[in-house]
Structure 1
Amino acid sequence: MATPPLTEEQLRDLIQGPGDVEWRYEMRRECQEILPNLWLGPFQVSKSLPTLQTLGVTHIVCIRDAKEAFSVRPRFPESFIYLVLDVEDNEEQNLIRLFPLAKQFIDNAIASGGRVLVHCNGGISLSPAFVVMFVMQHHQLSWENALHYVQNRRYCISPNGGFLTQIKEYESIYKASVALAAYRHTNGAQNGQGGNRIVSHSVRRKREDDEDEEEGLREEDRKRMLVAPDSQDMDVTMDS
């Protein structure tokens, strides 16, 4: 079912988020809830088992530079389900190619009743880029509104120039996929209705053909009844 479009006021309230949060510098070492059951933060949070348990986290997306693999790694594989993405934290890294894997992991986790933490080393550039793209498609926002949405919940994020360019590019990608899905849904519904009409027409034609055939049989029987007595009389006459 399509979500009804938001009014300007609803959109503004959605992007601004909670207005009673006063950002403090040390909050960059914490994680923030960006969407229901989706948290964004630094690697430091993923090392604290009590924090993760308090938040009810069940799934963790660990996005790290390949050079950080020794230190930025899953710490509690027996307690949480992990998705680890090894990337290069530079402007040439292709995030769009990796994003569908992260999105599917997050979607499946939340759909199953889980809670997800997405983190990189500092939670400033790399992991926020993924979360901005996720929010953009989830709420069907422009890239600017999606960026402001995440920034208004984790004020310290600042995707590098290359990541920001890809965030902009992803807007047209997700909008094209939404338009294609809507077209397939509409076209499929129309084809289904047309099929029903054809089936109904065929059934009706078959019923009419059966009725014509029955009428023909009745007509033949009626003729046979009229002809039979004459035949009998003729035979009798000939015998005489």
Structure 2
Amino acid sequence: MAVPAISSEALREMIQGPGEEWTYEMRRQCQEILPGLLLGPLQASKSIDTLREKKITHILCIRDAKEAFSVRPRFPDQFVYMVLDVEDNEEQNLIRIYPQANQFIEQAIAQNGRVLVHCNGGISLSPAFVVMYVMQHLRLSWEDALHLVQNRRYCISPNGGFLTQIKEYESIYKASLAIQAYPRLDQGATARRKRDDEEDEDEIQRIEDRKRALVDDDDDDDQMMMD
């Protein structure tokens, strides 16, 4: 189960924006990107009042291993956490790690939960994962997914390496959709081939029957002439 269905008109508005008026202070807060999916910085994950106010149930903590002392689960007895250690540099492979984040978010929303995705600043690392999720689950281009997230959290700016991988992931998820659709198309083609083969066999049988009938008629005529 993914995010709740969004009408095409509402989706267009979310992509084109604008979202709510942005102020500098909002960098320290979390914003709801899609129903049940929020994005923000470390500060939002440290405030139990904010988490309760936003009705958060799950927290995806994405951090550089060097930040483990400060960027960590704060309330493990009150929320479901996943921690991903990801280097915040352009060489880091996000596509390999993304499926874990995707599964966590999907499970949270499937349970009618609300998940906060955060890193230290909520500027580059965690937004990259959220853009990929939005792109895949709403079947958007990378540009539209980036615009949608940025219209909700204006300060995001994935680094160049992350942005390149976001672009690459558009091709990956679209290829995956095509592969999922292919078996259904193949089954339809197989059924059509089977029907065609059966029709061919029926036609061959009819021709053979006509041939036998002609042969039988000739045999009868020969017999009559002999008599």
**When the two structures are superposed, what TM-score results if normalisation uses the length of structure 2?**
0.78
Q: String of CA shifts for 1:46-78, please: whole Å, max 9, x gaps.
A: 001111011111100000001000110000000
Structure 1: tracts of 5 or more residues without a match: 1-5, 198-240
* 8 Å CA contact 2:95, 2:169 repeated in 1: yes
Q: CA deviation at 1:182?
A: 1.1
* Separation in 2, partners of 1:16, 1:24: 19
Q: String of CA shifts for 1:159-195, please: whole Å, max 9, x gaps.
A: 000000100100000000011111123334665x67x
* 8 Å CA contact 2:19, 2:152 repeated in 1: no
Q: Write out aligned runs for 1:36-47 (5 A).
A: 36-47=35-46
Q: CA deviation at 1:10?
A: 6.1
Q: CA deviation at 1:112?
A: 1.0
Q: Write out aligned runs for 1:1-240 (5 A).
A: 12-17=12-17, 19=18, 21-188=20-187
Q: String of CA shifts for 1:134-163, please: whole Å, max 9, x gaps.
A: 000111111111111111110000000000
* Separation in 1, partners of 2:40, 2:155: 10
* Separation in 2, partners of 1:36, 1:132: 14
Structure 2: tracts of 5 or more residues without a match: 1-6, 196-227
Percent identical: 72
Point out the structure with max Rg over C-alpha: 1
* Separation in 1, partners of 2:19, 2:161: 33
* Separation in 1, partners of 2:189, 2:55: 44
* 8 Å CA contact 2:57, 2:113 repeated in 1: yes
| Residues 20 and 144 of structure 1, relative CA distance in 2, 3 Å threshold | closer
Q: CA deviation at 1:128?
A: 0.2
Q: Determine helix, strand or coil for the equivalent of 1:152.
A: helix
**When the two structures are superposed, what TM-score results if normalisation uses the length of structure 1?**
0.74
Amino acid at match of 2:132: M
* Separation in 2, partners of 1:101, 1:63: 11
Q: Determine helix, strand or coil for the equivalent of 2:152.
A: coil
Kindly tell me the number of residue pairs found equivalent between the two proteins. 192
Q: CA deviation at 1:12?
A: 3.5
